[in-house]
Amino acid sequence: MRLASHPGAREKRLMPAAKARPAPPSPARPLSAAEIRAFLDALAAANPAPRTELLYHDPFTLLVAVVLSAQATDASVNRATPALFAAAPTPAAMAALGAAGIGRYIRSIGLWQSKARHLAELARLLVERHGGRVPAERAALEALPGVGRKTANVVLNVAFGASTMAVDTHIFRLANRTGLAPGKTPRAVEDALIKRIPPEMLRDAHHWLILHGRYVCKARMPECWRCVAAPWCHFSPKTPAPPARPAPAPRSASSRQRA
Ligand code: SF4
């Protein structure tokens, strides 16, 4: 996703070499400004108060959870973090736990060894550079191990209320497939979304689009037949509803008696 010389390369180094990003779908014709607003209005009506699905208590535990979620599902992270956060609720406590201690809590998460090393060093640097607090500035966040642009965008959005757009695999696919913001790279899609989405919708749009991509506009087959944004989406042809399952045959009186 990022060039090796860029700070976001740290996130990329967490990716296994064999799992290259799949090619994005062919970009659709871009939506008009009115269509973008209507598309997002539909997602907003369906989910007026969108939230991240990661469990966290404060900016520090959010940062840890987002670092752990690279190349892993939120559900797998949420299974591991309650015990980790109980053992190490602060940067000082996590730094004291060290990579080996952190690793004992996160072995069920992909790439746990490199993530444990990053978290131990990240916690140490939060104490050393920031008095044990998570900085609210992009440059300071991206200077931490395991933190690239995408992670910084999530933390700035969720913990500090910034109107950022973290382009993960779901948003990258959805932006191209629907015509919301076609772009060849995650950064191009991020820039296009920030430019095209009405500013007052931008903060929540991050969650709406991730959740929509995760549960409805899925990678292999978008579930267009139940999509609230379908009237404004430029993806074509839309996926039709699957055939209804035949109703089970009624049980005969004799089989009911035998049961
Ligand atoms: S209509 Fe289909 S392709 Fe368009 S956003 Fe909805 S699920 Fe995705």
**Is the distance from the beta carbon of residue 224 to the nearest atom of ligand 1 less than 6 Å?**
yes
Determine contact, residues 97/120, Cβ cutoff 8 Å.
yes
**Is the distance from the beta carbon of residue 223 to the nearest atom of ligand 1 less than 6 Å?**
yes
Q: Which residues lie below 8 Å from residue 160, measured CB to CB, with a gap of 6+?
A: 59, 136
Residue 217 is classified by DSSP as B
Measured at the CA of 140, the angle between CA 136 and CA 141, to 5 degrees, comes to 70
- HSE of 207 in the Cβ direction (CA atoms, 13 Å)? 19
Q: What is the pLDDT of residue 23?
A: 54
Residue 95 is classified by DSSP as H
Which residues are known catalytic residues?
150, 168
Select from 171, 217, 226 the residue to mutate for testing ligand 1; criterion: most ligand atoms less than 8 Å from CB.
Answer: 217
153 C-alpha to center of ligand 1: Å?
25
Query: Which token pair is 42?
Result: 């539909």
Residue 3 is classified by DSSP as -
In the chain, what are the helix, strand and coil shares in percent, each to the nearest 5?
55, 0, 45
Determine contact, residues 25/173, Cβ cutoff 8 Å.
yes
The closest alpha carbon to 138, from 128, 123, 148, belongs to 148
**Is the distance from the beta carbon of residue 229 to the nearest atom of ligand 1 less than 6 Å?**
yes
Ranges under pLDDT 70 in the chain: 1-25, 252-259
Among the four given CATH numbers 1.10.340.30, 3.40.718.10, 3.40.1190.20, 3.90.700.10, the one describing domain 59-160: 1.10.340.30
What φ, ψ does residue 127 adopt, rounded to 5°?
A: -70, -45
- HSE of 139 in the Cβ direction (CA atoms, 13 Å)? 0
**Is the distance from the beta carbon of residue 226 to the nearest atom of ligand 1 less than 6 Å?**
no
240 C-alpha to center of ligand 1: Å?
11
- Please state the domain extents for the chain: 20-51+164-232, 59-160
The protein residue with its alpha carbon nearest to ligand 1, atom 2, reads 224
- HSE of 71 in the Cβ direction (CA atoms, 13 Å)? 21
- For tokens 């980790």, the residue is 84
237 C-alpha to center of ligand 1: Å?
10
The closest alpha carbon to 217, from 206, 205, 202, 227, belongs to 227
Query: Which token pair is 160?
Result: 């500090």
**Is the distance from the beta carbon of residue 214 to the nearest atom of ligand 1 less than 6 Å?**
no
Cα 67–chain centre separation: 11
CATH topology of 20-51+164-232 equal to that of 59-160?
A: no
Query: Which token pair is 66?
Result: 């987002």
Atom of ligand 1 nearest to the CA of 228: 6
The protein residue with its alpha carbon nearest to ligand 1, atom 4, reads 233
Q: Just give the CATH number of 20-51+164-232.
A: 1.10.1670.10
Q: Which residues lie below 8 Å from residue 131, measured CB to CB, with a gap of 6+?
A: none
